[in-house]
Amino acid sequence: MPLYQVIVLAIVQGLTEFLPISSTAHLYLTSWLLGWQTESLTFDIALHIGTLVAVIVYFARDWIQIVAQGLGMNVGHDAGLKLNRAMLWLLVIGTIPVGLAGLAFNKMAESTWRNPFVIGGMLIAVGVLMWFGERAGKHQRDLATVNAADAGIIGLAQALAVVPGTSRSGITITAGLFRNLDRETAARFSFLLSTPAIFLAAAKKSYDLYKEGGVPHDMRVPLIVGIGVSAVVGFIVIAFFLRYLRRNTLTPFVYYRIIFGIMVLALAFFRPPAG
- pLDDT string in tens for the chain (275-residue length): 788 999 999 999 999 999 999 998 899 888 888 888 766 667 788 888 999 999 999 999 999 999 999 999 999 899 999 999 999 999 999 999 999 998 899 888 888 888 899 999 999 999 999 999 999 999 999 999 999 999 999 999 999 999 999 999 999 999 999 999 999 999 999 999 999 999 998 898 888 888 888 888 888 898 899 999 999 999 999 999 999 999 999 999 999 999 999 999 998 888 766 55
| 129 HSE (CA, 13 A, CB side) | 21
How many Å apart are CA 104 and CA 272, to the nearest integer? 28
The pLDDT of residue 39 is 64
Contacts of 92 (CB under 8 A, 6+ apart): 196
DSSP letter (8 states) at residue 250 = S
pTM, rounded to two decimals: 0.94
Q: For residue 129, which amino acid is it?
A: L
The pLDDT of residue 273 is 60
CB distance 54 to 234 below 8 Å = yes
**Nearest alpha carbon to residue 238 among 75, 31, 62:** 62
The pLDDT of residue 172 is 98
DSSP letter (8 states) at residue 141 = B
Q: Sketch the domain layout of the chain as residue ranges.
A: 3-56+115-141+164-270
CB distance 141 to 182 below 8 Å = yes
CA 149 to the chain's CA centroid: 21
C-alpha triplet 246, 249, 180: angle, nearest 5°: 80
The CA-atom distances, in angstroms, between 132 and each of 50, 51, 128 are: 32, 28, 6
How many Å apart are CA 76 and CA 82, to the nearest integer? 8
How many Å apart are CA 127 and CA 139, to the nearest integer? 18
The pLDDT of residue 41 is 66
DSSP-derived 3-state class of residue 274: coil
